[in-house]
Amino acid sequence: MEHSVNPWVALAYLAAGVCFILALRGLSSPATSRRGNRFGMIGMLIAVVTTLITHGLGFDLSIGETAATAGLDFDPAALFEIVVAIGIGAAIGLIIARRIQMTAMPQLVAAFHSLVGLAAVLVAAAAFVNPDAFGILGLDGNILTVSRIEMALGAAIGAITFSGSVIAFAKLNGNMSGSPILLPARHVINLGTLLAIIVLTALFALSGQAGPGENPMFWVIVALSFAIGFLLIIPIGGADMPVVVSMLNSYSGWAAAAMGFTLHNTAMIVTGALVGSSGAILSYIMCRAMNRSFISVIAGGFGASSSGADGGAKEQRPYKQGSAEDAAFMLKQAENVIIIPGYGMAVAQAQHALREMADLLKAEGVNVKYAIHPVAGRMPGHMNVLLAEANVPYDEVFELEDINSEFAQADVAFVIGANDVVNPAAKTDKSSPIYGMPVFDVEKAKTIMFIKRSMGGVGYAGVDNEVFYLDQTMMLLSDAKKMVEEINKALGH
């Protein structure tokens, strides 16, 4: 079964890999994200077509074939199955893409990660049961040692990705509580399970096999990996979801890369490595944004303590409440306004009304900027995508480290649907589950306008916010979109 790859096939896979690299480069900035998406689509098209030609349609493109011997070993049944599978997947993807709301994008990403993980498990299981079809049998009739390693690692990472992504989806979608679910002795259980997976993988790699699919250690590795994926994610609190999403993205890439070795598919190896490494880098960036180590997040450290989050009855404290007319009047008098969007804006779909408000203020000579926290929303870049959807100019959008020093000169800090990313408890309260996370210094602004539905709710981390009760804070209690639309009406008068 082993053969050298035709240079044209290698060249096609190389072109696909270059397109994927350009896609990642493009997606690093909102201004080039569309171009990055196009490169990704072109790269995937090249990879899929090349794989179909060399495998699905039966072309023998091995080196050494002559023009007379190389050709088409056409299998109509296989082609029909492939076309049907592609058609079903394309139809499902098209329907989801047209119907999905931006607020549901994080859980959609988690769901997609789970499918990648499950695909890796199924490919590994198929190779284990029918190794001859994958060309991984040695002369002794056993699966090659290196193939057993690839198979076990791919199945383990894929299973962890699948079960972890299912839990992440449930938390993001509201099917499970966003609060950490802490099991007794969870660290001991997790460590023991991970060690068992590593030991069994080593034993599986070194063991022989009486026949295809007959070594029970493979199935034990898969079962334990499904379990550890579940155990690793349930203790993680809602405030860590951006890191969890990027981490699972990385896992799905490494699972795909491992299966690329099993399938002898260069495109899968390259693509998986790109996704895995970029996801790992993004996870590191997210952890730095929260001032947490990656290990502590995976262990359920951030938000894992129930003390100080929602452990008692909330104290009733005085606050100032304003109206849309009040807000419009003060915004018109301002010179510098900084808008801080959060997940509440996404839920209310208020980004278009917010852009309209900014346009009205700019027409009055007000300088308007947007401040985006790295972990605002439920996934990395969530707020950037929403603002781009509303055609907010890219040069008006700033990251935390670039704009935080400007709050002291801001006349108005306009917080819409955000909470944890502007909570000063992250800087002052060591008992708070968000302590140490870099946050916006909105309390330094002359006036703070805070839009939220009611005073009864808290942020995703379950922490009350001292900003609500500051002398310069005006609470605008309403649905975010409705309130901004009312402000716009008042500004237009």
Is-catalytic flag, 420? yes
Q: What residues contact residue 115 under an 8 Å CB cut-off, 6+ apart?
A: none
Q: How far apart are CA 430 and CA 291, in angstroms?
A: 13
CA distances (Å), origin 22, targets 17, 41, 108, 253, 275? 9, 11, 24, 17, 13
Count of alpha carbons within 13 angstroms of residue 206, beta-carbon side:
6
Q: What residues contact residue 395 under an 8 Å CB cut-off, 6+ apart?
A: none
Residue found by looking up tokens 């306004």 in the block: 337
Give me the catalytic one of 395, 402, 420, 479: 420
Q: Is 435 left (phi over 0), alpha (psi -120 to 50) or beta?
A: beta
Q: How far apart are CA 165 and CA 182, in angstroms?
A: 18
Query: What separation, in Å, do the N-terminal and C-terminal C-alpha atoms of the chain show?
Result: 77
Q: How far apart are CA 45 and CA 419, in angstroms?
A: 42
Q: What are the backbone angles phi and psi of residue 62, rounded to the nearest 5°?
A: -70, 150
Burial grade of 107 (CB within 10 A; 0-12, 13-18, 19 or more) = buried
* 380 SS3 class: coil
Catalytic (active-site) positions: 420
